[in-house]
Amino acid sequence: MAKRPAKPAEKTSAVKVSPAKAVTPANSVVPPPGVAHGELVVLTGLSGAGKLSALKTFEDLGFYAVDNLPLELIPQFADLVRGSNEITRAVLGVDVREGLIDKFPLILQQVRNVLPTSVVYLEASDDILVRRYSETRRPHPLRRDELVSESIAAERKRMEPIRNVADVLLDTSRFNVHELRAHINAQFSRKQGEQTLLLSTMSFGFKNGVPPEADLVFDVRFLPNPHFIPEFRPLTGRDAEVAAYVMGFPQTKEFLDRTTDMLKFLLPHYVAEGKSYLTIAFGCTGGQHRSVALAEEMKKRLTEAGYRAKVSHRDMPR
């Protein structure tokens, strides 16, 4: 599972920084020494994308959880968290039934002037959402007489002001409940002295679209394609012989070295700005060979550099 630096834009270039905003803006108020302060997560997204399961996961991580607090009361709640000795981390659930969604960006800025705040936005594909509603037999919160698919389309449009300022876009289409919990646990769990920035390297195939949760996207289709070697076709970039083939080209090593150097420059600045999660995506044609091998190698390099890192493969055959 979609924590972002500008407004969302289509990711079409070979290397692109996602429209993620830093969790702690430059003008955030920093409490003076001795003053209690905390952290706030606003959890929102499309109905049926897993908000209730995610909220329970945050609660299990020690967050003080509140669901469906009216948007106009969020600044007062932020004041409460900042001044509390008991509440150090809180999560608020917000859904489409809130009446002030258009004003959310302004409310968010007010809250970020009080304490570090991140917005996590859960979404899923239309067919997955329709299937989930069919399985649970629950009505969509916006549904009146129209089809579920029409309600979903209306909700997507209505939630755009919140989605546009989200720090994390998490597509839960491929997650079950346990995978969603594991993703949130990996992203938000804290241990004393642990590196606060969690990195996720991801492989994908451009033929299936760019992952919406990606913060940095690298197009590796410039590398020779193992797909055209018959013995490699049924394999993936996790197989040793395919990985050795991909890594054997001088342009692969130069690309990895240059990308690693760039990330080592960027990551401390992301940490300084309060960013806690970064998804680095590598794309090839089908998401089976080149991108898989490079995502695995980059995860290894980042781990060796002292960062917490995990790897996932969106389109690799299972």
Q: Is 96 annotated as a binding residue?
A: yes
145 is in an annotated binding site: no
318 is in an annotated binding site: no
Ligand-binding annotation for 49, yes or no, is yes
DSSP structure string for 24-65: S-TTPPPPPTT----EEEEEEE-TTSSHHHHHHHHHHTT-EE
* Domain residue ranges in the chain: 15-188, 198-313
- Could you read off the pLDDT of 69-95 as tens digits, one per residue? 888 899 999 999 998 888 889 999 987
The domain covering 15-188 belongs, at the CATH homologous superfamily level, to P-loop containing nucleotide triphosphate hydrolases (3.40.50.300)
For residue 263, give the 3-state DSSP assignment: helix
Position with higher pLDDT, 173 vs 6: 173
3-class DSSP state for residue 183?
Answer: helix
pLDDT, tens digit, 9 for 90 and up, residues 225-265: 999 999 999 999 999 999 999 999 999 999 999 999 999 99
The two three-digit tokens of residue 315, written as one number: 């389109």
Q: What is the rounded CA–CA span in Å between residue 280 and residue 224?
A: 21
| Annotated binding residue 51 | yes
Is 131 among the annotated ligand-binding positions?
no
Q: Report whether 35 belongs to an annotated binding site.
A: no
157 labelled ligand-binding: no
3-state secondary structure labels for all residues of 211-248: CCCCCEEEECCCCCCHHHCCCCCCCCCCCHHHHHHHHC
Is 18 marked as binding a ligand? no
Res 112 pLDDT > 50: yes
pLDDT of amino acid 108: 93
Q: What is the pLDDT of residues 296-313, one digit of tens each?
A: 999 999 999 988 899 999
* Start-end of H helices in the chain: 51-60, 74-83, 104-112, 126-136, 148-158, 160-163, 177-188, 240-247, 250-272, 290-304
| pLDDT given for residue 14 in this prediction | 37
Distance CA 31, CA 54 (A): 29
The answer to whether 50 is a known ligand-binding residue is: yes
Gyration radius from the chain CA atoms: 20
pLDDT reading at 29 higher than 60: no
**Burial environment of residue 17 by CB neighbours within 10 A (0 to 12, 13 to 18, 19 or more):** middle
Q: What is the mean pLDDT of residues 145-163?
A: 84
| pTM of the model as a whole | 0.55
